[in-house]
Amino acid sequence: MTGRMIEFNANGATAPGYLATPDGTDTSGGPGVVVLHAWWGLTEPFRQACDRLAEAGFLALAPDLYRGKTTASVDEADTLSSALNQEEERVRGDIRGAIRYLREHGATSSAVGPGVVGVIGFSMGGAYALDTSVALPKEVAAVVLFYATYTGLDFAAARAAYLGHFAENDPFEPPESVAELEQELHAAAKQTTFYTYPGTTHWFFEPNRTDAYDAAAAALAWDRTLAFLNAELRRS
């Protein structure tokens, strides 16, 4: 199953994204999931995540936050992600637009009502996933984090459940940051499950990062992700 690039409305403008649906149309029914890419841009691993979600019966949309730019260079990725700090409102608008697109094109969930979605965020995208769960509490029921934290947010109003996948050896997200985020979520009485994968490093889920990819850890994290999304978005 292969998705395709689309354009959707965001903040009164047009934004690009990658859409994958269970039957390949724009209007398939099923729970919606927004996928937020890492600082590399909308590269193959994140498009593949959408395809795999569609195979599992979800509508998946990954907004292209870089508007077509991608890189395999850490230095360039750092520059691209830093530039987004100057475009926070545009980025938030893209994410809101992606949620709205899914709601208007058949995303449903018997558990939490029509159009309420899950959000999966990878690294940089994970920080935006956490931010979105706070900014749009009525629209986000489940958040999945891959090696990403964002501490200091006020999670009191959030309604999401949280699942986190973290690397054991990660200078970008050290254990102290993970523990702090977990403590904040527990203090706000949010359903929270965090896993640490032994022997892994940052980007362990992404096959094109041959220096970090761990097939066994990636497979386990994905199985846990699907079980979590099914539990949170499909409950009767």
Q: What is the pLDDT of residue 234?
A: 85
Please determine, for residue 28, whether its predicted confidence score (pLDDT) is greater than 90. no
Helices (H) and strands (E) in the chain, counts: 6, 8
What's the pTM? 0.95
Q: What is the pLDDT of residue 110?
A: 44
How many distinct structural domains can be found in the chain?
1
Query: Long-range contacts made by residues 83-88, C-beta under 8 angstroms, separation at least 24?
Result: 84/124
Query: Distance from first CA to last CA of the chain, Å, rounded?
Result: 27
Q: What is the pLDDT of residue 11?
A: 85
Please determine, for residue 125, whether its predicted confidence score (pLDDT) is greater than 80. yes
Containing structural domain, residue 153: 4-233
Query: Do 190 and 162 touch, CB atoms closer than 8 A?
Result: yes
Please determine, for residue 221, whether its predicted confidence score (pLDDT) is greater than 60. yes
- The whole-chain average pLDDT of the chain stands at 93
